[in-house]
Amino acid sequence: MPVSSFQHVRIAGVGAYLPERVVSNEELSATLDTSHQWIFSHTGIQQRHLAAPEEGAASMGLQAALRALEDGGVSPGELGMVIVATSTADYASYPSTAALIQGKLGAENAGAFDLNAACSGFVYALSLGKCTCRNLGRPVLVVASEVNSRIVDWKDRATCVLFGDGAGAVVLVPASSPGILHEVLGAEGAGADALVREAGLRTREDSLRKPGYVRMDGRAVFQFAVRSMEKVIRRLMAEANLPLEEVDHFIPHQANGRILDAVARNMGVPQERFFRNIQEVANTASASIPIALAQLRRQKALQPGDLVLLVAFGAGLAYGGCLLRW
């Protein structure tokens, strides 16, 4: 079929991978000045999955990708592009994690590149993947994979308890009716200093800093999260000209249960309509939304025609959302 026949793009397959090792709040409390009570009451987190020593963003992303391809009935040779959202890539600069996954898949007809929009990376990659899929007229693989456990200071109780590792992936295919309906992407770059991983090439001193840990102004990020998620939801609905009541599934980035409570309350949406798995997986950064999608898919909770709203925020301070017709 000629490329111009396809006006739209839909998600054909979803997959996720979580490392086997589960670490509970109680286990963390044995070596850190914290408690299950504090972590659970301040974040809603009960446990997190942590990568094995030999696992990384590419190997976890590969597992999620294989599951998404199988779910979508798409073979690696059909792919036109592999896009990986990650802020914890296997290599600091290159090769890209996408190239590593493309190679392992044997996706010999696909280009490959990484994208970093921190925790908002998946929605950015989905938006870019939609354009690429439509332009190429071929399937596109979008992966989000994070090994957060390697960039947190395990002695800093204010940050290390919040994160987990994991990967999620979707396969996009050209479609004759709308699947990915609309996206909103934005950033408050002036506030970027509120959430930084202290490693990089900005200055010579930075380049010598090893390892570089996450530093966060938790309160500033909390306020940004609530403000930006509400803004994205309102803009998505207004620009798509659809009422909020029609959304069947809100799938927000899982960073803190209290952030989700505040957004749902402020938007007048019952808490139950906001998907939540933070208690099991903690904050998996860009991977959190595709991990949630895969969980809902496994539960057969996503029905054809359902309206699904994805919304994320994170370092940058980048934010974004997508509205999907399943």
Q: Which residues are catalytic?
A: 119, 253, 283
Which residue number, 212 or 218, has a Cβ lying nearer to ligand ACO? 218
* CA distance linking residue 245 with residue 73, whole number of Å: 33
* CA distance linking residue 138 with residue 122, whole number of Å: 20
Does 38 bind ligand ACO (CB under 6 A)? Our answer is yes
| Residue 150 in tokens | 């390697």
Does 40 bind ligand ACO (CB under 6 A)? Our answer is no
Contact 161, 148 (CB under 8 A): no
Lay out the site mask for ligand ACO across 228-267 (x = CB under 6 A, - = otherwise).
---------------------------xx-----------
Contact 199, 66 (CB under 8 A): no
- Using CB under 6 A as the binding criterion, the count of chain residues that bind ligand ACO stands at 24
Which residue number, 94 or 154, has a Cβ lying nearer to ligand ACO? 154
Q: Which of 14, 18, 43, 121 binds ligand ACO (CB under 6 A)?
A: 43
Q: Which of 11, 18, 107, 221 binds ligand ACO (CB under 6 A)?
A: 221
Q: Which residue is nearest to ligand ACO (CB)?
A: 218
Q: Which of 9, 11, 12, 39 binds ligand ACO (CB under 6 A)?
A: 39
Contact 138, 144 (CB under 8 A): no
Show contacts with ligand ACO in window 86-145 (CB under 6 A): 118-119
* CA distance linking residue 207 with residue 63, whole number of Å: 32
The distance of closest approach from Cβ of residue 61 to ligand ACO in the complex, given in angstroms and rounded to an integer, is 17
Query: Which amino acid makes up residue 304?
Result: P
Show contacts with ligand ACO in window 287-326 (CB under 6 A): 314-315
Q: Could you please report the per-residue DSSP string of 202-258? A: SSHHHHH-SSPPEEE-HHHHHHHHHHHHHHHHHHHHHHHT--GGG-SEEEE--S-HH
Q: Which region among 38-46, 165-173, 231-239, 244-252 touches ligand ACO (by CB under 6 A)?
A: 38-46
The distance of closest approach from Cβ of residue 158 to ligand ACO in the complex, given in angstroms and rounded to an integer, is 4
**In what helix (H) or strand (E) does residue 57 lie, and over which residues does it extend?**
helix 57-72
Q: Which residue from 189, 166, 162 is spatially nearest to 259, judged by alpha carbons?
A: 162
Contact residues for ligand ACO (CB under 6 A)? 34, 38-39, 42-43, 118-119, 157-158, 161-162, 195, 216, 218-219, 221-222, 225, 255-256, 283, 285, 314-315
